Chains A and B, each alone.
Chain A
Amino acid sequence: MGVYNWNWSILFKEPYLGWIISGFGNTILIALLAWAIAFPLGSVIGILRTVENRVLRLAATTYVEIFRNIPLLVQMFLWYFVVPELLPADWGRWVKRDLPYPQFITVVLCLGLYTAARVAEQVRSGIEAIPRGQRNAGLAMGLTPTQVYRHVLIPVAYRTIIPPLTSDFLGVFKNSSLALTIGVLELTAQSRQIEEYTFAAFEAFAVATVLYCLVTGLVIAIMRVVETRTRIVGAITVGG
């Protein structure tokens, strides 16, 4: 192995410091916006997978299977290169010519819709884990199905799925790195670019690595607080 010239100071020089900061900002922004799509949409789809109506259930299942079984990167290419071609001509022209920040919007949309399928699966399994008796008891007391979901099933289901939802939330930060394939300069892309400009591979990748670890640590800490705050007094697990 040759002698490696360490050069950590490069990370604090312009323009590299600025690249890291803007890359990190983009990563956070993409992840939060994608989650803002994924969480509500995934919740609706997950709930639809558990309702009595067969058509709604089938539609929700189809959504989940399609978005789960195509690699995220292929989905990214579909949204970016293919969808504008399949739209009606006027819309396609608008998307290609007038849409501001087209790559950024594509990434957020793609990642949001993909993650929604994962959120949906967690929500469904959270609801299905609740014994059927609770739903029946709610209905027997004269609650409408909507009320049963609102007051009985959902409050319990969401509490039990906090840990798997946390890992999906972490997933949006990690998966936002795919944005670099269509030219959005997020954290991984910027560290790669610094490596290409300076050949300081260790330093460039290390700073990205540390920042991703920081995000993970922070998210896990926050979700622990959420979990403690929302715990139902006296309940250990969902049961009976």
Chain B
Amino acid sequence: MFSGFDFDVIWRNMPFLLNGVWLTLQLTIMAVTGGILLGLILAVARLSGIKPLAWGVAAYVNFLRSMPLILVIFWFYTLVPKLTGTSISGFYSVLIAFIMFEAAYYSEIIRAGISSVKRGQISAAMALGLTNLQAMRYVVLPQAIRNMIPVLLTQSIVMLQDTSLVYVVGLRDFLTSAEIVASRDNRPTELYLFVALIFLVVCFSASRLVNRLRRKYTL
């Protein structure tokens, strides 16, 4: 069935494709880091007990969660340069879009993780004479983190897949690079199968690892 196909085209264009892989990795790592940090801030704000703040964050999270990521990318890609008045690179516009978008999802995971620690634990910590901060540091967070890390990692695998959407603004990630080669050499079958296979292997192994982690660490 694969007679007449030329998988050699992949090896000939490897350096170009690897550049794409590198951009995908950079974007994923930066967006995951930024997204988790912003998500943590949002989650803490939402659990702070300060009502206007909690409502504001809830509105932000629900709003972004009803948007398609492509539309968010278009918003930021078009508007960040207009708003800042500088010629910021496409990469950073898109990175900001991913961070703002993923933070909404991460903050829900972090909030669920913190809420999963039973109230009695906090009461017990207080009764033992720990301060608020100590209770957070020694009782709540160690348990919350164990519960939420597998979910955060799963979301990050989703995020790695989502980075392929930068195709819509022509940023040269893995998929876009493959698309460029595919249309130049007229070899879509070989290139897209290759991209699919790499994602499948990477994401499948990663999700297996996360599952093992979950079984080992979740309380």
Chain A interface (Cβ within 8 Å of chain B)?
A: 1-2, 4, 65-66, 68-75, 77-78, 81-82, 85-86, 170, 173-178, 180-181, 188, 191-192, 195, 201-202, 205, 208-209, 212-213, 215-217
Contact = CB atoms under 8 A, between A and B. Distances in A.
B218 to A, nearest CB: 15
B167 interface: yes
7 contacts: A71-B199, A74-B199, A85-B189, A180-B70, A191-B74, A201-B79, A205-B71
A2 B199 contact: no
A1 B63 CA distance: 26
Interface in B37-65: 63, 65
B213 interface: no
Interface of B: 1, 63, 65-71, 74-75, 78-79, 82-85, 161-162, 164-165, 167-168, 175, 179, 182, 188-189, 192-193, 195-196, 199-200, 203-204, 207
A66 to B, nearest CB: 7
B195 to A, nearest CB: 6
A73 B165 contact: yes
Nearest to B203: A69
A75 B204 CA distance: 15
B70 A177 contact: yes
Contacts of B71: 177, 188, 191, 205, 208-209, 212
Given A77-B175, A174-B69, 12 more contacts: A1-B83, A65-B204, A69-B161, A71-B162, A77-B179, A77-B188, A77-B192, A82-B189, A181-B167, A205-B74, A209-B75, A212-B67
A73 B175 contact: yes
Nearest to A65: B204
A78 B70 CA distance: 19
B168 A180 contact: yes
Which 8 A-B residue pairs are closest in the complex by CB-CB distance? A216-B66, A69-B203, A71-B161, A177-B68, A174-B68, A81-B188, A71-B164, A177-B70
A191 B154 CA distance: 32
A195 B73 CA distance: 14
B189 A86 contact: yes
Given A73-B167, A74-B175, A82-B188, A209 B196 contact: no
Which of B70, B168, B182, B189 has the most C-beta atoms of chain A within 10 angstroms of its own C-beta?
Answer: B70
B100 to A, nearest CB: 14
A124 to B, nearest CB: 14
A180 B71 CA distance: 11
Contacts of A69: 161, 199-200, 203-204, 207
Contacts of A180: 70, 168
A205 B78 contact: yes
Nearest to A192: B74
B121 to A, nearest CB: 22
Contacts of A2: 82, 85
A82 B192 contact: yes
Nearest to B201: A69
Contacts of B195: 74
Nearest to B157: A69
Contacts of B165: 73, 178
Nearest to B183: A81
B122 to A, nearest CB: 23
B79 A202 contact: yes
B68 A212 contact: yes
A40 to B, nearest CB: 24
A8 B71 CA distance: 19
Contacts of A201: 78-79, 82
Nearest to B83: A1
B67 A74 contact: no
Contacts of B164: 71, 73-74
Nearest to B199: A70
A188 B70 contact: yes
A74 B66 contact: no
Contacts of B182: 81
B78 A212 contact: no
Given A177-B71, A188-B71, A74 B196 contact: yes
A180 B196 CA distance: 20
B75 A205 contact: yes
